[in-house]
Structure 1
Amino acid sequence: MELQQMRYVIAVAESNSFTRAAERCLVVQSALSHQIARLERELGAKLFERTSRRVRLTPAGAAFLPAARQCLDAAERAAAEVAAAVGEIRGRLAVGLIPTVAAVDLPSMLRDFRQQYPSVRITLRAGASEELVEQVKQGTVEVAFLGLPTTARPEGVDARELARDRLVAVVAPDHPLAAETSVTLRRLSTEVFVDLPAKTAGRTQSDQAFAAAGLTRDVAFEVTTAYLTSRLVEQGLAVAMLPSAYAPQLTGVTTIEVTDAPERVEYVIWNRYDRTPAANAFLTLLETQRKRAPVRLKRT
């Protein structure tokens, strides 16, 4: 069993086509098919069902796929560790982030990281804070930036607090509130809202604030990106509450201070037990760019 055979199986499984898999792997289709057939003979089981219209995994193939991915990940990790031992950082780095990350200028940081470590391949994965925590625990994401209410902390991972921020109201430029310098939660509670899905960390901070004030609100729109939030607000369909540090990135809307606004805490998190050389280099760069006292990242 060879690593290249595993790469071919994964490519076919992800593309549902031997032709597209061969193109992706930069080999002729006959060579790819031969190697997969050879692997199937060695395993004593068919990995794919082939018809004239489609290709799909057999039960044996479905069982083989996760282990094949783990083997390739382990091989890449081994190569990265050897490279790090002789002073070269390479491999892959998966960075997770919430859509409204504001404590770090991530594009600028990635530019600097790329200049220093051009051999590292970087994947960015946007998601909700609670999803990112689980992905870091599982090792599918090495480092993540997230935001949580002040009542919560990341669990099961190492973390560092980066910043605290208050939410502001975001309204359309022609909204009656647009001319106000500040607003209260009670006044906002009479408006229709767009917000993140219920029970997500980003939604919870606002829900808790309204509940603590004895207020309810109408969340008519649930979205998963700040871009869609601002566009719905711009069209006058709803108002929103977003972090004040993120608000300057918005266009076509007006922001207003909320006198009794909730706070959120931004964290950087990483796997408690397993950090790749690329993740170590990324965290070291973050520490440098934060321009804080020269102390090591600490667990919280």
Structure 2
Amino acid sequence: MDHRLLSQFLALAETLHFGRASELSHISPSTLSRSIKQLEDSLGTELFLRDNRSVSLTPAGVKFQSYAREALTAWELLQSQLAETQGELKGEISMYCSVTASYSFLYDLLSSFRQAHPKIEIKLHTGDPESAIGRVLAGTEEVTIAAKPESLPAGLAFKHIATSPLVFIAPTQELQTDLPIGPDGVSDWAKTPMILSESGLARKRINRWFKRKGIKPTIYAQVAGHEAIVSMVSLGFGVGVVPRIVLDNSPLAQRVRILEASPALDAYEVGLFTLEKKLKNPLIQAFWHSIS
């Protein structure tokens, strides 16, 4: 079976969206649709239920998803092992991370690795950090840089890179409300407009922080992406919570200030993730062990 078809199937199985899956696969939606039809015809069963509004996996599609992941992993491992017998590793590693992670960590991570393994290419995709681990678990990406979750999913390997505090930030100017924020921090958290992540690790930790204090926060906005939180806070719309590394790399860093808050939020532990079984691949293994 054509391994490109398996990759395209997995992209659609993860995103359940023909437009996003075709972008990931670097093909047109019509080409992706033909590929899926080709797979379904060869298997004699439908893999997806689709209409004008939604796409979902059929029971057969769920089973085939497991097969496709295993088949691609075995194929990539064989390719790498054959390349290794020729004395020099070559091939591709698919990596995913947020834009912030790419310019915060990638240069240091890749500089020595590229010198040691010039024929290994890194295919980098950037996007929402909240989907990073899910893409590795789904088999869409081989390696990602992300914050370590409070509970590590089974079969996932993690390697620490850095620790980043999770901080409250306020605008250097006054908020666009009548509520002042003094140099010692917030006087009334219940009335302070908050700009928070829609979901993810930061949201879980801030929710827990307010719950411990017995406070129901006033949520002004819920947004996707920490960079957007910095932007909204800099304009005076409210107080936000972001990893310090995002703030340090933001062009708007001078327009916000870090607030003192007690107790401090648990820090982010940032690192590399891959599937444990992927570490058998000589390419992934070489990259993994190049990180000190």
Specify the TM-score bucket, using the shorter chain as the normaliser: 0.5 to 0.7
Q: 1:163–1:266: 8 Å Cα contact kept in structure 2?
A: yes
Which of 260, 265, 269 aligns to 1:262? It is 265
Contact 1:167 1:258 in 2 (8 A): no
Residue aligning to 1:226:
226
User: How far apart in 2 are the matches of 1:153 and 1:45?
Assistant: 39
Shift of 1:148: 4.8
Distance (Å, rounded) in 1 between the aligned partners of 2:163 and 2:93: 26
**What pairs up with 1:96-107 in 2 under 5 angstroms?**
96-97=96-97, 101=101, 105-107=105-107
C-alpha displacement at 1:182, in angstroms?
A: 4.3
Q: Are 1:181 and 1:256, in contact at CA under 8 Å, matched by a contact in 2? A: no
Give the 3-state SS of the residue equivalent to 2:221 in structure 1: strand
Q: 1:76 to 1:230 in 2, by over 3 A?
A: same
Tell me the distance in 2 between the aligned counterparts of 1:138 and 1:17: 23
> Which residue does 1:281 correspond to in 2?
286
Partner of 1:78: 78
Check conservation: 1:132, 1:146, Cα contact below 8 A. Answer: yes
Gapped regions of structure 2 (runs ≥ 5): 10-17, 23-27, 47-57
Greater mean deviation of Cα atoms: 224-233 or 109-118: 109-118
Deviates more, 1:134-143 or 1:175-184: 175-184
**Aligned equivalents of 1:44 and 1:170: distance in 2?**
54
2:94 aligned residue: 94
Residue correspondence of structure 1 range 25-174 to structure 2 within 5 A: 43=42, 74-97=74-97, 101=101, 105-115=105-115, 116-129=117-130, 131-148=131-148, 152-156=150-154, 157-174=156-173
- The two structures have a TM-score, normalised by structure 1, of 0.65
Deviations for 1:208-253, whole angstroms, at most 9, x for unmatched residues?
1121122221223222222222222222223211122332212332
Normalised TM-score (structure 2): 0.66
* Superposition RMSD in Å: 4.4
CA contact (8 A) 2:170 2:259 kept: no
Aligned length: 257
CA contact (8 A) 1:6 1:68 kept: no
Equivalent-residue separation in structure 1 for 2:251 and 2:206 (angstroms): 22
Aligned-pair identity in percent equals: 17
Q: Which runs of 4+ in 1 moved over 6 A?
A: 44-47, 67-70
What secondary structure is seen at the aligned counterpart in 1 of 2:82? Answer: helix
Instruction: State the AA in 1 paired with 2:215.
Output: L
User: Residue 77 of structure 1 contacts residue 91 of structure 1 at CA under 8 Å; is this kept in 2?
Assistant: no
Task: Report the Cα offset of residue 204 of structure 1.
Answer: 0.8
The aligned counterpart of 1:296 is none
The letter of the residue matching 1:183 is G
Shift of 1:102: 9.5
Letter in 1 for 2:146: L
Shift in alpha-carbon separation, 1:117–1:97, aligned structure 2, 3 A: same
Q: Match for 1:270: what amino acid?
A: T
Q: Is the 8 A contact 1:92 1:122 kept in 2?
A: yes
From the CA coordinates, give the structure whose radius of gyration is larger.
1
Give the letter aligned to residue 174 of structure 1: Q
CA–CA separation in structure 2 for the residues paired with 1:189 and 1:160: 38
Secondary structure of the 2:132 match is: helix
Check whether the contact 2:202–2:241 (CA below 8 A) recurs between aligned residues.
Answer: no
Question: Cα gap change, 1:231/1:180 in structure 2, threshold over 3 Å: closer, same or farther?
Answer: same
| Structure 2 contact 195–232 (Cα < 8 Å) conserved | yes
Q: Which amino acid aligns with 1:88?
A: E
Match of 1:183 in 2: 185
In structure 2, do the counterparts of structure 1 residues 134 and 4 end up closer, same or farther at CA, with 3 Å as the change threshold? closer
What amino acid sits opposite 2:257 in the alignment?
T
Distance 2:158 2:3 in 1: 37
DSSP 3-state at the match of 1:123:
strand
Superimposed CA distance per residue, residues 168-204 of structure 1 (whole angstroms, 9 cap, x where no aligned partner): 22233322599855425x6444321222114x21211
**d(CA) in 1 for partners of 2:5 and 2:274?**
28
One-letter amino acid of the structure 2 residue matched with residue 248 of structure 1: D
